[in-house]
Structure 1
């Protein structure tokens, strides 16, 4: 395996100057979005970040480690669970955040990595323990608060009604080939989710 594939052994862990890490991680996502995972190399990341190749190799031994670290870092900047006092207000903020996420660096990186995830355990783990866990936890807290306020029936989180909040957005993003906007998220909330919540409560 060539150095471009990231097979070089570690040279002592993290660098002396951690201030470059943010720029490097942003460069990783840019290269992923522009070239895809298969074409991503350590050299390309170093060039995009404006650092020497040795700086990259001191931080990460393999390409999958490098990308997984960048994905995990994004999770730390995610939204706090909203608490507006109503399910409608909470879901609106949460769905707007999801729209921003799929249209931003994480969304572009995810699209480029989808074909690689089944074959890259480190990347899979980074997504499951990072962005996916953040989303699941935040989503769960919104529905649990709604249940505590009496807005939804107990155990609403595990129902098809709850999944209708994010599924149309993700479907359009992954398969629709159409822009995903906050207007579309508002439409999903107003015309689909809230009527289903009301119908389920009435039943």
Structure 2
């Protein structure tokens, strides 16, 4: 059955999203409740359910709220430039903040199929599909062979680097470090050299 939407303004929705992200950082997904979001935003719990339907959908919407980058729109004329530009547009703040918020729902993903499906369908799959389109464009340009075995692995590799960082080190992930991953791992896997040393 379709969820009936209330007339909530974009500003009010943004306030709800900020409250959800704050609670995720403070208490994690399991302890986050619709009651807590309602109290923090002075909204009715029924309004939250009418607008978003469930806690998993609200959390995913809040996580998506700060991810405006459209990867497929980036077209610099070369794969080197495209991937560098994508990383630069994401920026240091999002690279360091995003994984921490995602870890707030990490353990819940295993036991909550709705949350897992919502995160995968609304965040991971679109981002990976966009990167795949960037790679296919590089194939059409003749930069990467169409039968390169790494083509299907690079989108997941880039997402994994970002999401796993909080587990692998104390320092936040930065644009400079993501560029090093591109130079040391992604470009060689695709048969390319780092841009500074030539194609």
Give the TM-score of the pair, scaled to structure 1: 0.75
Change (3 A) 1:152 1:23: same
* Structure 2 residue 108 is matched with structure 1 residue 116: yes
Aligned to 2:69, which of 65, 69, 78?
Answer: 78
2:197 matched residue in structure 1: none
SS at match of 2:32: coil
- Of the structure 1 ranges 124-133 and 186-195, higher mean CA displacement relative to structure 2 is found in 186-195
Alignment of 1:73-152 (within 5 A): 77-81=68-72, 82-96=74-88, 97=90, 100-104=93-97, 106-152=98-144
| Residues 1-203 of structure 1 mapped to structure 2, 5 A cutoff | 13-19=4-10, 20-71=12-63, 77-81=68-72, 82-96=74-88, 97=90, 100-104=93-97, 106-156=98-148, 158-159=150-151, 162=154, 166=158, 167-196=160-189, 197-198=191-192
Query: Cα distance, 1:103 vs. partner?
Result: 2.5
Looking at structure 2, the residues matched to 107 and 30 of structure 1 have their Cα atoms a distance apart, in angstroms, of 14
Asked whether the equivalents of residues 99 and 162 of structure 2 are also in contact (C-alpha less than 8 Å), the reply is no
8 Å CA contact retained: 2:24, 2:32: yes
Unaligned runs of 5+ in 1: 1-9
Q: 1:181 to 1:128 in 2, by over 3 A?
A: same
Deviation at 1:22, TM superposition (A): 2.5
Q: 1:23 deviation in Å? A: 1.8
How many correspondences in the alignment? 187
Whether contact under 8 Å (1:87, 1:146) holds in the other structure is: yes
Larger radius of gyration: 1
Please say which of residues 113-122 and 154-163 is displaced more in the overlay.
154-163
TM-score by length of 2: 0.76
Deviation at 1:140, TM superposition (A): 0.2
Structure 2 gap segments, 5+ residues each: 194-199
Contact 1:27 1:45 (C-alpha < 8 Å) held by counterparts: yes
* 2-structure distance, mates of 1:78, 1:184: 19
